[in-house]
Structure 1
């Protein structure tokens, strides 16, 4: 078992190892830029590549990640990148187009492995909670990046290229892969809730690779005149970042699922997609486009438009659903799902007065007998479960036409559009439903219900509900005094010579009887 002090020592050790690796890599890169020699550049590339490999192997051995497949893919990808770059820098290889083509193919294999590994790591979601909106954001960013790549990189490279079909295919493949890398990078930034050093270093490495690939693509398109030494620097920095990430203890978390900031992801993804779209259209304005360019851009713009429309429609539905959920939570008791006291007053004053006009209306005040005993003996969790199950039975008995609300701790109010006889039948069904044993997680429980009934045949007003609740509450005390379980009408209270019911009216709901 790893102790807290052991974990801290590993963390400090990982930081120190990463700093040492970073210092050596920066020194080697500085020598690479100062020497301006192909042979020195190859040596530096070998040093950085071997250092990254050693760091990844050390991290796998030291921290034992449960799923090290990502890091093995990183090793393969790094080896492919380093081999391809070394071949391109070699003076002998530059004179042979077939060898240069081989180096591009090797680098392309490394890029495909990188995209596959990152996609498997950052896009993986449980089947039970796949976030379609986040995936749609990622696709939109990829389409925007691909559109930008076509206008600035792919089309110019195809026009300037003198190679055959394979060379042109490679010139097209790299920007497409980079568009995927950009989408994955932005996706990981949006969804990540952790601030792990390893994750941030991997993200920085991906950004460096994108910058380096863009430099090579611009150079191939004839839009820049950077030296081969300068073009190699971002890839060297990216390799150093990967090695440093592998030495951090948090490298084991890269393959684990993380919670997502959904709102932040949607907002930022939209902003990035719009920026990419605008940045793509700027160089097109006033430019002479060929037929192929127009076709490709029309398809990509159409796909972006469809994606944005789908996303907007889902955002509208999601906003409407959120409003409904917020209103439901404000109007309903969290434990039982029944209306709360305020919602009952509002519904009775609006919908009930409209829909029940001209009908008799009865109000049942339900109090649970024995709830306090269950709550004290089996615990508060059992008490909450009993309240929720009782509410469910009441809901099933009264049906959808009634207004049912949780009025207090173990008290419920039910309003139904019926007369005296119908109210007695509803009360009888509630009494029998609540008398049946409850099978709680903590054990079986038995309770009963005392119900007071008040009814009116007059026109409903704002004061009607208050009066019905007062009268039904008084009748409930009479039912409780008569027997354990049963119901009584308010007329019985009025007929008594002495007062059994309370002589005051408390406008606040009763405290939870626990």
Structure 2
């Protein structure tokens, strides 16, 4: 992980100061008339430019960072080459070429940096390289015709010196093409536009320099260095531009090989090549010039052919990839529902019945939601991928595995009834094996519904789905073969979900309230809001039946928030009526899915503000699976709720898979002992009493409150009072009732307190 960059007001001030210094140096260079002073100022500009590039890397931390450090290295190479140029050109032998070694090292670093930037933004495809080489070929021919050959004709000038001088413009052409490709990939980056201008300035400077070389001058006037000054300025501006911040949008996109931008670049390159072949430069009749033209034309034709073939193949690959993505699940790479339906349609349209048999296995993972909620979606994705791999292995080469949605899969396989039973048994057995996800083992089971593929694909899917739901209803972790008796049961389940959706849309769900009391005195200290549903023509529906359905359908977020708002408004009304004081607390249940919503804490804050109730008067009851969720979102939400003063109670404690020691690390304030442990208090075994005693002891040590649920007898109350449990709720005091009935009870207690 990279270290954080320099930022803040200090970084901004230093950046402004550096820019002012650099501009002052440029102004001095422009107005100076002394060669010695101008050379010194040019060197100072180079040093300031390199310092600016370093500062840009430290402040913005652009990505990929190595590419920008290579640009710094390029600046150092150019600066070193400028420093030794007068001394090097005055020497002979290897020392004469030291300036070129340093300068070309800078160009090499710049070339590698641009390649890395282009690759990071999705550029440099094969056809792009062809475009770059075609443009480079035109530049090479221009260099040979107008620089290399004329330089070789100069008296006393070695061929090596002439060739090296001609390399610079050629490299500049390649750099310009690379930056143009980079702009095609990231057109909204202003820093890359500045970089293109810098490379064009380098090209202008090198061509100007080479032109003076053709005139026989190795050290041209200082004015020839003006484009290099501009290049220094522009590359520094690119490094310091805000678009280089690592959190800035890259805007990356890969231009198509036949896009108008690429075609314009290609046309300009080919036009330049035709123009070069048509004109007659000095020495145009030399064999070197003629062979350079022949080789360039042959190379360009080969590159054009390669480009066309690559582009066509690329289009074919892209179409194949799009077709694959459209027909396969992106997470598991399994065929999707459309592919499955097509295969089922082909099977049912084939040979007459009796000439072959295929079976459809509808697989649903039991407990997948718990893994997703407690360990995060990344762990859930890992589990789905492992499940897909296991299903492929079970189905074999002759079967088909598809993922429909979520944790639902389908296996299509052929064979007789014995083969069907073998596959179904193996599905249940193999999917029950532990899966290593997020560093721990996760165990889920599978409910599998099986149907024979007969008349239509739709019928087979419906029957297998019905059998799967029946397997879940009968206990999960098993498989069932569809039979006609299941059809009516599935219809009832579908009807129940439909009616529940209508009830949610029409706000037909209601709230009942059960009082929470002081066990010693029976005085109400709070109330728990409980969701109720009166189904038309069917009567009350148990929360055990419809709440899980709310969670499965994703309606729980909407219903849970509405219940919270209703409960807080009711608490505010009881306060206005003088029935309760500010120590009276309202408890509301929260589903795990709600805690996974990053906006949940803000929604709760808004509900409190709407009702005019402070956070300390609200207790949110959460399940063990919620508070044990290995999710940063859940933990951040719980901490945000605690900062508002809201109490957090672990509901039905002891029925999950947690340990008492977990309470030490969780931001909860209260534990609610499940009714299943309260119901057996006073029996001979004493095991439940020991458990309650342990919960109370640990809670007291951690400063947590304790509430017991489901108290129905005086004996249970007395044992709990003796065990120092302060708060309880149950039928011994009051059943859950509507707000008006509970209000009457509260009014009675209020009058008693006044007396």
Q: TM-score, normalised by structure 1?
A: 0.75
Query: Is 1:13 aligned to 2:14, yes or no?
Result: yes
CA distance in 2, matches of 1:216, 1:7: 42
Q: 1:41-80 maps to which residues of 2 (within 5 A)?
A: 41-53=35-47, 56=50, 71=72, 74-80=75-81
Deviates more, 1:120-129 or 1:398-407: 120-129
Question: Cα–Cα, structure 1 residues 207 and 475, in superposed 2: closer, same or farther, change >3 Å?
Answer: closer
Counterpart of 2:441 in structure 1 is: 444
Q: 1:259-278 maps to which residues of 2 (within 5 A)?
A: 261=252, 263-264=254-255, 271-278=264-271
Counterpart of 2:414 in structure 1 is: 417
Counterpart of 2:300 in structure 1 is: 304
- Match of 1:334, SS? coil
Report if the CA contact (8 A) 2:25-2:44 is conserved: no
Counterpart of 2:161 in structure 1 is: 170
Which of 154, 173, 194 is residue 148 of structure 2 equivalent to?
154
CA shift for structure 1 position 233: 2.9
Report if the CA contact (8 A) 1:475-1:490 is conserved: yes
Counterpart of 1:342 in structure 2 is: 338
Could you say which structure has the higher helix fraction?
1
Report if the CA contact (8 A) 1:56-1:246 is conserved: no
Question: Cα–Cα, structure 1 residues 512 and 170, in superposed 2: closer, same or farther, change >3 Å?
Answer: farther
Tell me the matched-pair count. 478
Could you say which structure has the higher strand fraction?
2
Report if the CA contact (8 A) 1:450-1:484 is conserved: yes
Question: Cα–Cα, structure 1 residues 42 and 390, in superposed 2: closer, same or farther, change >3 Å?
Answer: same
Report if the CA contact (8 A) 2:348-2:453 is conserved: no
Counterpart of 2:429 in structure 1 is: 432
Question: Cα–Cα, structure 1 residues 319 and 490, in superposed 2: closer, same or farther, change >3 Å?
Answer: same
CA shift for structure 1 position 180: 1.3
Counterpart of 1:403 in structure 2 is: 400
RMSD between superposed Cα atoms in Å: 4.7
- Match of 1:326, SS? helix
Deviates more, 1:168-177 or 1:428-437: 168-177
Query: Any idea what the Cα deviations from partners look like across 1:67-95, whole Å, max 9, x if unmatched?
Result: 8676465345335336647999xxxxxxx
Query: Is 1:332 aligned to 2:328, yes or no?
Result: yes
Report if the CA contact (8 A) 2:45-2:229 is conserved: no
Q: 1:53-202 maps to which residues of 2 (within 5 A)?
A: 53=47, 56=50, 71=72, 74-81=75-82, 84=85, 105=97, 107-124=99-116, 133=126, 138-158=132-152, 161-164=153-156, 166=158, 168-191=159-182, 193=186
Report if the CA contact (8 A) 2:175-2:199 is conserved: no
Question: Cα–Cα, structure 1 residues 391 and 175, in superposed 2: closer, same or farther, change >3 Å?
Answer: same
Query: Any idea what the Cα deviations from partners look like across 1:28-48, whole Å, max 9, x if unmatched?
Result: 32444xxxxxxx244323322
Unaligned runs of 5+ in 2: 60-64, 499-548, 555-592, 594-755
Counterpart of 2:491 in structure 1 is: 502
CA shift for structure 1 position 57: 5.6
CA shift for structure 1 position 336: 2.8
Query: Any idea what the Cα deviations from partners look like across 1:278-328, whole Å, max 9, x if unmatched?
Result: 212114226465432221122223233333433433333332222222222
- Match of 1:502, SS? helix
CA distance in 1, matches of 2:370, 2:56: 56
Unaligned runs of 5+ in 1: 33-39, 89-97
Report if the CA contact (8 A) 2:74-2:110 is conserved: no
Counterpart of 1:365 in structure 2 is: 362
Question: Cα–Cα, structure 1 residues 240 and 62, in superposed 2: closer, same or farther, change >3 Å?
Answer: closer
CA distance in 2, matches of 1:56, 1:407: 57
Which of 487, 490, 495 is residue 479 of structure 2 equivalent to?
487
Report if the CA contact (8 A) 2:142-2:276 is conserved: no
CA shift for structure 1 position 468: 1.2
Counterpart of 1:321 in structure 2 is: 317
Counterpart of 1:281 in structure 2 is: 274
- Match of 1:484, SS? coil
Counterpart of 1:235 in structure 2 is: 228
CA distance in 2, matches of 1:387, 1:61: 46
- Match of 2:452, SS? strand
CA shift for structure 1 position 465: 0.5
